[in-house]
Structure formats: structure tokens, C-alpha cells
Structure 1
Amino acid sequence: MPLFRSGLLLATLFLSACSMPIFQESQSTTTEKSISNDTIAEQKIQAEDTVVVISNDQLIEQLDAQKKLATNNFSELKNRVGSAPDMPKSWVAKESNSKDIRSDIQQFRTYVSKTNTGLAVLNERVDDRQKLAVKGDLIQIFLSDATITHNNVTFKAQPLVGQWVRGESRVIRLKDNILFENPKSEDLHITFSETYQLVVNNRIIATVNPHKEKNSASFNVTTFDDAGSIVGKLDYRVIGSK
């Protein structure tokens, strides 16, 4: 009987010893979770207390960037389609209320988004004409003569020839020789608008008659930076439908 009681006591002590680490581990895990939750809560409070302050100078920079995008889209649509939605008006300055500046930024962002969609649709129409053109949708342009005056330098460009789709606008590089690396060069922006107008560097120089096979047009336009001039002549002909 004493032996049985001793065995029972030893078994009880053994079970108690085995259960103690498990209890301690559970306590440790609970404590770690509590600390982790407290840390997350503290970080959240700090994040909410952090306020990003944007100065009026920074807002004006954002506004100027949106204005530039809007102006580019307006010019491209005007040249390629013949018309473009009116741009928003803005009279704000650095001294203006930040709320007014933000409002203007949003107006120009909306305009840029709208005109981006218009340009995407236009590009789809141009692609369709490229694949299945009717008479008047394709013209071949031959730059027979061009004299560039820029930064006190004057040179005559090499003749160039290319094909334009109605609604397409491209920039070509004018050079005084055929070498790839050439210090004397100038960009020329040629557009064949959906309204059959030939536009060179944002200036209309002729209206193409889709029923007249050949014609020519002279031009005198400024360079992109308005610091020089390009004087020349384009010969063009309407390519028959495919």
C-alpha cells in the first residue's frame, strides 16, 4: 500500500512537471501578441498624425505640368482633326488659395484624360485608313526644297519623300547631308489632317483636293523654339485607293 501511494505521488509530480513549460509558453505567446498589437496601434496613430504639406510652389509646378500636357494635346488634335475641345482657363498664381490651385489642377487633368481618349480614337481611325484606304486617304509628300536658318547658321536640307495617311502627323529630321551624325539638322512637323489640310509646324499651308492627283505648296514657318525659320516647298500627290 505505501508503495502504491509513492507511485501515485511520483506520477502526479511527473505530470505537473510536464505541464509547466506548456503553460509558460502560452503565457509568452500571449504577451508577444499583446506587444505586437500595441506596436501596430502606435504606428497607426503616428501615421494618422503625419500630415504631408504641399507648398503652393509645388502645386503650381503640378499645374504647369498639366497645362503643358493639355496644350500639347490641344495642338495635336487641332492639327490632325481640324478642331479640339477648348482648354480650361486658369488665373491662379503662387499667392492664390491652395484650394483654388488644386481645383485648376483637377480641371486640366480631366481635360488631358478626355483629349487622350480623343487621340486614341483618332489613332484607331488612322490605322483603319491605312489598312483600307479610299481615294484621298493617302498622299505622297516630296520635300523638294527647304532652307533652314537657325542660330546664325543657314543650310539647305536634303530632299525627302514619304507617305501620310489622312489624320496622321509625323516629325521628320532635316539635314544638310545624308550622314547620320550631323550637327546641322532641324525637325519639321508635317500633318495631313482629317479635313485634308497640310499643316507644317502648326501652320496650315494648303488644302488637299482628293480629286486632284498632284499639287504643290510653299511654306515659311518658324522652328519649334521660334528662334529660326524654315522656308521650302512640298510637292504632293493623292494615292489611289487600294
Structure 2
Amino acid sequence: MLILRSGLLLATLFISACSMPIFQDLSTSKTDSVDQNVSNNTPVESTKSTDVAPTTSTNDNTSNESTSNPLNNVSSIDSLTKQLRAQQALAKANYTELTNRTGKAPQLPSISNVNNLSSNQINDATQQLRSYVSKTNSTLASLNARVDDRQKVALNGDLIRIFLSETTITHGNQTFKAQPLVGQWIRGESRAIRLKDNILFEDPKSEDLNITFSETYQLIVNNKVIATINPNREKNDADFTVATHDNKGSIVGRLDFRVVDDE
């Protein structure tokens, strides 16, 4: 019995002695594995954040700087050019109206080819045109005031009556004869009338005709002088052939006119 107990005790001690190094190795292996994973993960994350962030920021800034300036410059030039062309149209319209109604007009500013101008030159040209438009607007306002005065108190030759007959309009593939019209014009006045195929109804066959009785006694139709009126001669007539406003057609007709005494 004593021998059996001694044998069991020795067996227990032997098993304990053999098992302790094994547990220590496993613990050490696990610790080494965890430490190695931690040490491997930390530098990788740090390297990624360091490499990516500066590269993205630099590329974006460079791209914006290289593309924004040319686009802004082109947009600015286009805007200035549109303003210039708008003022050119106004100046030309005033020049034509004054020439027709008074027989003369200030010379238009000389503007070079817009495509060859810098932004500063475009600004200068636009300012010249604005000044011209302002000046001619004042002249037109004075002219309108004189026309109003003549309407109130007309002198000999200040008022004529016009009868428009035998008018044929050709526009594209369409041709039609307009209804006769009659009206009175004051010296210095310019206005448009609508020529229609049927005067009683709205008709797609229609065309505007501008008639001017200038201060110099000229009768002008669509910017073309067709007669000079003698204020001492009661009646007269004139045939005319003029272009339509879009220059894509023609208007052929006859005007009968006579000087009207103030009524």
C-alpha cells in the first residue's frame, strides 16, 4: 500500500514536471503572435495616411489653378463683346433714324475688328458708343419736340397726306397685293405702317413699310429716298421699289401725296 502511494506521488510529480514547460511555450507563443500582429498593423496604417493625403490635396489645387483663369478670361471677353455689339446696334439705329429724319447725323465712332481687341480696348470702344447713343438720343428728343410743335401749328409744307396704292410685296415664294392706305405725315416724322392682304382680318401675309417725311422735305421709304417734296406744289406722286426689312424680299408700289394746309 505504501509502495502504491509512493508510486502515485511520483507519477503526479513527473506529470507536473513534464507539463509546465509546455504551458509556458504556448503562452509565450501566443504573446509573441499578438505582439507581432500589433507591431505589424500600426506602421501600415500610419504609412497609408501619410502618403495619400498630401498627394490628393496637391493635385486638386493644381488642377483648379490651371483651368480657372483661362475660362474666366474667355467668359469676361464674351460678356464685354456682347455689351459692345449691343451698343453698336443702338448707335447704328440712331444714326439711321437721324439721317432719315433730319438729313444728317453725327459720324459713328470708328471701331476696329472686335476679335482683335483686348478687354481694355473693348471697354473704351463701348464707352465711346454709349456717349454717342446718349448724344443722339438727346438730338432725337429735340426733333420729336419740333414735330409736336408742327403738329400744333403747321406752317406751309409741314403737313402732307399720302395715299399708298398698287403695292405688291414679294417675300420668298409668296407674293401678295396690299390693301390701299392713306395717312398724314408731319415734317420730321417717321413711322411704320402694316401692309396686309386683307385689311379686315389678321393675315399672315403682311409686311411693315416705314415712311419718313424728313425735315429737308424728302420722302423716304424703308431708308430709300424716293422723292423730294416741293412745299409750293400741291400734288405729286412717286413710284418706288425697296427691299423688305430683312432684305429677303421686295416691295413695289406707288405713292400719291399732296401738301395739306393747317386745318
Normalising by the residue count of structure 2, what TM-score does the alignment of the two structures yield? Answer: 0.71
User: How far apart in 1 are the matches of 2:177 and 2:90?
Assistant: 33
Shift of 1:52: 11
CA–CA distance in structure 1, aligned partners of residues 97 and 128 of structure 2: 19
> Aligned partners of 1:92 and 1:204: how far apart in 2?
31
Shift of 1:92: 3.9
Q: CA deviation at 1:103?
A: 0.2
Question: What residue number does 2:76 align with?
Answer: 55
Which residue of the partner structure matches residue 184 of structure 1? 205
Paired with 1:174 and 1:53, the residues of 2 have a C-alpha distance of: 45
Aligned to 1:81: 102
Whole-angstrom distance in 1 between the partners of 2:249 and 2:113: 32
Whether contact under 8 Å (1:167, 1:192) holds in the other structure is yes
Matched AA of 1:130? Q
> What are the ranges of 5 or more consecutive residues in structure 2 without an aligned counterpart?
1-71
Aligned equivalent of 2:255: 234
Distance, in Å, in 2 between the alignment partners of 1:95 and 1:214 is 54
Where does residue 147 of structure 2 map in the other structure?
126
Which amino acid in 2 is paired with 1:181? E
Equivalent position SS for 2:114: coil
- Tell me the number of residue pairs that the alignment of Structure 1 and Structure 2 aligns: 192
Task: Please say if 1:109 is aligned against 2:124.
Answer: no
1:172 equivalenced with 2:190 (yes/no): no
Equivalent of 2:214 in 193, 198, 201: 193
- Aligned mates of 1:71, 1:128 — CA distance in 2: 27
Code of the residue aligned with 2:194 in structure 1: it is R
Q: Which residue of 2 aligns with 1:204?
A: 225
| CA shift digits 1:86-126 (9 cap, x unpaired) | 00010142342110000000000000000000000000000
Q: Is the 8 A contact 1:92 1:100 kept in 2?
A: no
1:236 aligned partner, one-letter code: F
SS of match in other structure, 1:181:
coil
Equivalence for 2:42: none
Structure 2: how far apart are the matches of 1:228 and 1:53? 38
Alpha-carbon RMSD across the aligned residues, in angstroms, is: 1.6
Identity of aligned residues (%): 63
Q: In the alignment, what sits opposite 2:87?
A: 66
TM-superposed deviation, 1:177: 1.0
Structure having the higher helix fraction is 2
CA distance in 1, matches of 2:140, 2:86: 19
CA distance in 1, matches of 2:74, 2:241: 49
Shift of 1:179: 2.7
- CA distance in structure 2 between the partners assigned to 1:234 and 1:93 by the alignment: 42
Code of the residue aligned with 1:63 in structure 2: it is: L
Q: Is the 8 A contact 1:57 1:94 kept in 2?
A: no
Structure 1 SS opposite 2:165: strand
| Distance (whole Å) between structure 2 residues aligned to residue 99 and residue 225 of structure 1 | 34
Residue in structure 2 matched with residue 33 of structure 1 by the alignment: none
Q: For 1:120 and 1:112, locate their aligned partners in 2 and report how far apart those are by CA, in whole Å.
A: 12
**For residues 11-22 of structure 1, what are the structure 2 equivalents within 5 Å?**
none
Secondary structure of the structure 2 residue equivalent to 1:133: coil
- Paired residues for 1:135-150 under 5 Å: 135-150=156-171
Structure 1 unaligned residues grouped into runs of 5+: 1-50
Q: For 1:44-63, what per-residue CA distance to the aligned partner results, in whole angstroms no more than 9, with x for missing partners?
A: xxxxxxx9996111111000
Distance across 2 between alignment mates of 1:93 and 1:171: 33
Larger radius of gyration, structure 1 or 2? 2
Give yes or no for contact 1:56–1:94 (8 Å, CA) kept in 2.
no
Q: Name the aligned partner's letter for residue 168 of structure 1.
A: E
